[in-house]
Amino acid sequence: MSTATVPAARRTKRTSWGSVLSTFGILLIVIYCLAPFYWMIVSSLRPDTEIFDNSWWPKHPSLENYQAVFSSTNNFTQGLINSLIVSVIVTVVALAIATFASYALARLDFRGKGFLLVIVLATSMFPLVAIIVPLLKNFSAWGWINTYQAMVIPDLSFSLPLAVWNLTSFFRQMPQELEQSAMVDGCTPGQAFRKVILPLAAPGIFTTAIIIFIGAWNEFLVAVTMINDPTMQPATVLLSKFTGASQFNTPFGSQMAAGVIMTLPLVVMVLLFQRRIVAGLAAGGVKQ
């Protein structure tokens, strides 16, 4: 065997071992992330008599917990509708405002732009607990308790900074020659933005929309503070108020079933649009 063959064989062996270790590490991360969700599914299929059983699969699988979730006393179907309404409104409004704001911040040069971006980022860092009491006082005075705007506006105050920051970074990566070429061909600045920039920015906008939707869907503190009408409460609040047959009986199975129902739309959405999400994250991180 020649001396040149030995280093090549060693490099091949190192590469194979590195590939095995990388695959093993990724597999461990996947198991760590999915194990709680798997246990939630298994617990949701256990009858009450087996709820504390530690087996990997229920001995007598049952859908009684899912039937209990959608019973008329829980209003969970209405809670899912409320969560969907709030999440969609927050996502659409946040994207509509953030798209124009972030494009202006990325393309226009004006005094104080860096400071403005810092303020936008700092706004999202305020702890919600610190401002929930002033919000409750104002909303009570305005008669907004038990209304959708009482949930939408606080959610927007945290979704907008995130959306503006993400999309500003994304628009900065897009060369200005795109708009210039479109205007040379006869487009106005508005037409260049609408016909050229927006289609190219779709992956970044779509990724930001997914992040905003997930945040609004999982929001709990604002809803439980502002909404006390069961018909207006989102699913997250209703889930926390599930009760058993008595005060000493906690319906773990029904809570797990409700958790599965709330998580499935997000899992399906991410699986269906994973390519767009990855494309948006990658496009925003590559310098043009």
The dihedral through the CA atoms of 53, 57, 61, 63 has a sign that is: positive
Instruction: Kindly give the confidence (pLDDT) of every residue in the chain, 288 residues in length, as a single tens digit, with 9 standing for 90 and above.
Output: 455 555 555 556 566 777 778 888 888 988 888 888 888 889 888 887 787 788 888 888 888 888 888 876 668 889 999 999 999 999 999 999 999 988 888 888 878 777 888 888 777 777 888 888 889 999 999 999 999 999 999 999 888 888 888 888 888 888 888 888 888 888 888 888 888 888 888 888 888 898 899 899 999 999 999 999 988 999 999 888 876 555 556 778 888 888 888 888 888 877 777 776 666 555 544 444
**Region of 75 on the Ramachandran plot (φ > 0 left; ψ -120 to 50 alpha; else beta):** left
pLDDT at res. 249: 64
Pick the closest to residue 253 from 80, 232, 261 (CA basis). Answer: 261
> Are the beta carbons of 113 and 261 closer than 8 angstroms?
no
Pick the closest to residue 284 from 191, 176, 199, 166 (CA basis). Answer: 166
Report residue 112 as tokens.
């104080």
Q: Which residue has the tokens 């959405």?
A: 269
pLDDT at res. 285: 47
pLDDT at res. 95: 93
